[in-house]
Amino acid sequence: MPSLEEEISNAGGALSLLRQGRSGAYPFPIKAEYSNWRDEQEAWRGSAALMDLSHHMPDLVVQGPDTYSLLEHLGANSFQGFGPGSAKQLITVRPDGYMIGDCILFCVGDRNVRVVGRPPALNWVQFHAETGDWDVTVRRDERTVNNPKGRELFRFQLQGPHAAAIFEKVNGGPMPDIPFFHMGGFKVGAYEVTALNHRMSGFPGYEFTGPFANSEAVRDVIVEAGAEYGLRLVGARAYASVATESGWIANTLPATYTGEDMKAFREWMPARSFEGSLALGGSHVADRIEDYYLTPWDLGYGHILKFDHDFVGRAGLEAIKDQPHRRKAWVLWDREDVTKIFASMHEPGDQRFKYLEMPAAFYTACQFDRVEKDGELVGSAMLTAYSSNVRGWISLGTIDPAAAVGDQVEIVWGEPNGGSPNPAVERHTQTRVRGTVMSRPFPNKL
């Protein structure tokens, strides 16, 4: 089987490989809409929203005496207090400090951890588990489209102002006290589930799991109990936009495509892996793949980096920690410029602008659109979506210190030269959209 390293070489380099757009956007294989995506979006801020996370993320199960040591060796954040019943966001970087990916660790038992998230961080953990001197075993529970055996667990998320009342109703009484990023058991009717206390939409709620065979029955109990509270099931269209609102930059490019110190990983990784099929797009067209690599500070993770242990990438992060860094920020699009984009759909030929899919306008797995201030590049818009809660278009991305909150910027929307090799990109004319840098889409509520 050819490796990722061979695939990059055969394509003439990583940029040529990723610009082919083989994967398209990252799919959410659930029903597109249960009611309509506008009301579904508003539910996680106005009532309650039930999201199905069971299908699109793989799980990597790591077990054995060296489980904690392996994860600590790869994690740029502290593992103090990590153990059964707790969870942790794992930040993984390459030796020079650039991001490979992040994921969530669910410690479901003594030295028994389910690693859940987009594939890059899971692949990095599995590579070290299988090639290093670690006394662990690993097993993958692949996402539904790659899993003929079926998923082991369902994973639901119920969040919103009325989530607590719904949880108490289905539990038959007060919920257990579950600290933030810890897990605890409760009941959904007759079914035992395990909850993680964290927030995706910005409102209180739990992510909870149980045997996949119980998924439909558990969902039915939640839906019936939530009817009086205005509960909405969230489909794929609305769910694709939740990260843009909540502030998680989910589509980072893993910094695995270059460097001699990463060559062993590329030789281990199959050509038709997530990394080998990844699509790169957007108006920011760089000459080097390294120009798309990001640091933890760029993504808003600087505050959770801990240099209290040795880990892969520690020296690289220490070498750059005092340098200026980009930060995570939002840009609110000018409504008149948005209107011009939609109006251009009526123009003949290539005079139309790049189509804005609603609500989530990203059309590739890793999207980098230029953010400019006074004609100079100051950042990248990575997740662009229409929010019915904002009643406008917002982009989430990374911004230079030169662009402060409140500053006027421009987003370059559309591919240069009328398109790209990606078959998902129609012929179009590139345009510019005025915008305002924001610290959060909802400054008065979060």
pLDDT surpasses 50 at 446: no
Report the alpha-carbon distance of residue 292 to residue 304 in Å, rounded.
Answer: 22
Domains along the sequence of the chain with CATH: 37-56+151-234 (3.30.1360.120)
pLDDT range class, residue 444, cuts 50, 70, 90: very low
Closest alpha carbon to 136 in 85, 68, 58: 68
pLDDT range class, residue 445, cuts 50, 70, 90: very low
pLDDT surpasses 90 at 12: yes
356-392 in b/e burial notation, b at 16+ Cβ within 10 A? Answer: beebbbbbbbbbbbbbbbeeeebbbbbbbbbbbbbee
Phi, psi values for residue 70, rounded to 5°: -65, -50
Mean pLDDT, range 372-378, rounded to an integer: 97
Beta bridge partners of 62: 113, 138
Better-predicted residue by pLDDT, 115 or 439: 115
Q: What percent of the chain has pLDDT over 70?
A: 97
87-97 in b/e burial notation, b at 16+ Cβ within 10 A? Answer: bbbbbbbbebb
pLDDT surpasses 60 at 403: yes
Length of the chain: 446
Cα separation values, 310 from 77, 136, 167, Å: 10, 19, 41
Query: What is the residue whose two structure tokens read 């100051």?
Result: 378
pLDDT range class, residue 351, cuts 50, 70, 90: confident
pLDDT digits (tens, 9 = 90+) for 292-326: 999 999 999 999 999 999 999 999 999 999 999 99
pLDDT range class, residue 258, cuts 50, 70, 90: very high
pLDDT digits (tens, 9 = 90+) for 167-205: 999 999 999 999 999 999 999 999 999 999 986 545 678
In the three-class reduction of DSSP (H, G, I as helix; E, B as strand; rest coil), residue 200 is classed as coil
Q: What is the mean pLDDT of the chain?
A: 94
